[in-house]
Amino acid sequence: MYRSHNCGELSALNINEDVTLAGWVQKSRDKGFIIWVDLRDRYGITQLVFDEERTSKAVMEQAQNLGREFVIQVKGKVIERASKNPNMPTGDIEVLVSELTILNDAILPPFTIEDKTDGGEELRMKYRYLDIRRNPVKNNLIFRHKVTQEVRNYLSKEGFIEVETPYLIKSTPEGARDFVVPSRMNEGQFYALPQSPQTFKQLLMVGGMDKYFQIVKCFRDEDLRADRQPEFTQIDCEMAFIEQEDILNAFEGLTRHLLKEINGVEVEKFPRILYDDAMRLYGNDKPDIRFGMAFGELNEVAQHKDFGVFNNAELVVGIAVPGGNNYTRKEIDKLIDWVKRPQIGALGMVYCRCNDDGSFKSSVDKFYDQDDLAKWAEVTDAKAGDLICILSGETNKVRAQLSALRMELAERLGLRKPNEFAPLWVMDFPLLEWDEETERYHAMHHPFTSPKPGQIELLKTDPGAVKANAYDLVLNGNEIGGGSIRIHDKKTQALMFDYLGFTPEEAKAQFGFLMDAFQYGAPPHGGIAFGLDRLVAILGGQETIRDFIAFPKNNAGRDVMIDAPAPIDDEQLKELSLKLSLEL
């Protein structure tokens, strides 16, 4: 038996018991005649004590030679501590050691295994197994486990069946590049790793599984943006014989369950907003609604004066910053510099102070009188003491810029509280999205998403205006889930591929299996997938998803611990019938 107890469970109740503990040496303090050692395992820390009077000379000597992170086993008696530590669950006791076995020694770790470590991110990634010994990382992994347990419990209770789908598949175009895997047995042919189990879950519906879920790895070979992982985990779900409303209810239920069980937060029915309204009011399809500062469109009240900048703009739009009239001129100038940074790209910013006496003072007083400015305040819902910030230009650009400013200001004002949760459904996304690069329409969600009833005809005349039965679940400004009601008949699916620019041959080659399946009685179906990594991070009140992944990749998509990706040797290449060529 390696241990009778773990390092987190002994208390005053155990005083005088003989115990055996095992773990890692967190630190030791050697006063010569007395040595204290903090022994650590997953469950906590227990203080060990060795002293000249009560510990044998041999054990004393062993204790003197213990280094950080040595793995040891001790036998001893639980005694009351002279100076108690109320901040530690085991702080009332210590273990007077009579026997010490060194199970393994350890070289000095490259960073301190403390809650606040001196190790930089890259170093911690390289020695992730040491990082995992630290409470913040360990606790995040335990937290993630709790979330996935709750997901499984809830969905199982609701009648969902967890089914595994294959990892070695064929490309499904979902916007990103596939990771490909050469097949040794099929010379010159490749599998692709799934970007999501999308087509398989639809086939499970054709197969009559009715309610499916899977906590599943997905792979996307995207250019890495901050805090994206090339492999990530989804809670992937699909249901048959449902309408959109059923899906929203089912997964609102799941989210509410998680918020309650994990965070102890009860949330009312989730608000819903149309995609078009989200863009108009927040400039963003994943608005953070923990705070207001909704956009006010000012074209009507700000154009047709003599201010050319506004007159020439497609959109003039502003937000009221609560209490912003306190900002000094210098602070406002800094804000203007902030929106002009290349990352944001605004050409400038007009502002208007809302004074306590009800008067206004704007940066464009030359063109606008008090009555005009009062209208600006009305449209942006600005109160006395606020500052109205206004941007203008091309609609999409200006919305994105003001959205960035809104988030930045909310952050500065402390309005993005990590322990406040504001979920929101964003509904009726456009079916198609214009891609500048390829100069054609792409499916905004994926090609299996159904258009809103009665809109399929519009595809011919105004494809950009067609809305989809697609929805996203947004939490605190992050998209945590997205899904749609699917097309479930061969004819519509073929039409959709046609509009997306697939020839019938290409459609058949890539998705013949799905269209074939649709001929054998496909039920109406739809689903959703949650990004588990992000969901866990948000529920945990944190920003970085890497902190909730046991072995994450760095920002360049590398695993710096195992040093992957890496070249393979010529033999392997040959076996796979591959030749590396630098000529493209």
CA 207 to chain centre: 32
Measure Cα distances from 291 to 94, 329, 417, 431, 536 in Å: 49, 25, 10, 29, 22
Interface segment toward ligand ASP; rule CB under 6 A; list 259-267, 425-433, 478-486, 540-548: 478-486
Interface segment toward ligand ASP; rule CB under 6 A; list 352-360, 372-380, 387-395, 526-534: 526-534
For ligand ASP, the closer of residues 41 and 285 by Cβ is 285
Residue 259 CB, shortest distance to ligand ASP, in Å, is 21
Measure Cα distances from 577 to 20, 180, 192, 366, 566 in Å: 57, 14, 17, 73, 18
Q: Whats the size of the chain, residue-wise?
A: 584
Residue 524 CB, shortest distance to ligand ASP, in Å, is 15
Measure the CA–CA gap between 481 and 237, rounded to whole angstroms: 10
Strand partners, 77: 18, 96
DSSP structure string for 174-209: SSSPPPEEE-SSSTT-EEE--S-SHHHHHHHHHTT-
For ligand ASP, the closer of residues 95 and 468 by Cβ is 468
Residue 484 CB, shortest distance to ligand ASP, in Å, is 5
Binding residue (CB under 6 A) for ligand ASP from 529, 536, 539, 560: 529
Residue 39 CB, shortest distance to ligand ASP, in Å, is 45
Which residue shows structure tokens 């890259």? Answer: 122
Binding residue (CB under 6 A) for ligand ASP from 484, 522, 535, 538: 484
Which residue shows structure tokens 């010569």? Answer: 32
Q: Tell how strand 71-80 and strand 525-531 pair up.
A: unpaired
Interface segment toward ligand ASP; rule CB under 6 A; list 126-134, 460-468, 525-533, 549-557: 525-533
Question: Binding of ligand ASP at residue 451 (CB under 6 A)?
Answer: no
Which residue shows structure tokens 């008696």? Answer: 77
Q: How many alpha carbons fall within 13 Å on the CB side of residue 438? A: 9
**Interface pattern 261-300 for ligand ASP (x via CB under 6 A):** ----------------------------------------
Residue 480 CB, shortest distance to ligand ASP, in Å, is 11
Interface segment toward ligand ASP; rule CB under 6 A; list 93-101, 179-187, 313-321, 479-487: 479-487
Question: Binding of ligand ASP at residue 196 (CB under 6 A)?
Answer: yes
Q: How many alpha carbons fall within 13 Å on the CB side of residue 457? A: 2
Question: Binding of ligand ASP at residue 244 (CB under 6 A)?
Answer: no
For ligand ASP, the closer of residues 364 and 468 by Cβ is 468
Omega of the bond leading into 565 within 30 degrees of 0 (cis): yes
Q: What angle do CA 502, 506, 507 make, to 5 degrees?
A: 70
CA 210 to chain centre: 28
Question: Binding of ligand ASP at residue 198 (CB under 6 A)?
Answer: yes
Measured from the Cβ of residue 305, the count of other Cβ atoms closer than 10 Å reads: 15
Measure the CA–CA gap between 97 and 101, rounded to whole angstroms: 11
CA 369 to chain centre: 46
Residue 219 CB, shortest distance to ligand ASP, in Å, is 11
For ligand ASP, the closer of residues 69 and 238 by Cβ is 238
Residue 262 CB, shortest distance to ligand ASP, in Å, is 23
Residue 472 CB, shortest distance to ligand ASP, in Å, is 9
CA nearest to 443, candidates 426, 460, 463, 458: 463
Strand partners, 559: 564
Q: Which 3 state secondary structure label does DSSP give 95? A: strand
Q: Which 3 state secondary structure label does DSSP give 408? A: helix
DSSP H/E element including 98? strand 93-104
**Interface pattern 204-233 for ligand ASP (x via CB under 6 A):** ------------------------------
Question: Binding of ligand ASP at residue 392 (CB under 6 A)?
Answer: no
Binding residue (CB under 6 A) for ligand ASP from 7, 298, 313, 528: 528
Binding residue (CB under 6 A) for ligand ASP from 423, 430, 483, 552: 483
Question: Binding of ligand ASP at residue 165 (CB under 6 A)?
Answer: no
Residue 205 CB, shortest distance to ligand ASP, in Å, is 11
Question: Binding of ligand ASP at residue 482 (CB under 6 A)?
Answer: yes
Interface segment toward ligand ASP; rule CB under 6 A; list 332-340, 403-411, 459-467, 527-535: 527-535
Interface segment toward ligand ASP; rule CB under 6 A; list 251-259, 304-312, 324-332, 521-529: 521-529
Measure the CA–CA gap between 427 and 424, rounded to whole angstroms: 10
Note the residues at the interface with ligand ASP (CB under 6 A). Answer: 196, 198, 482-484, 527-529
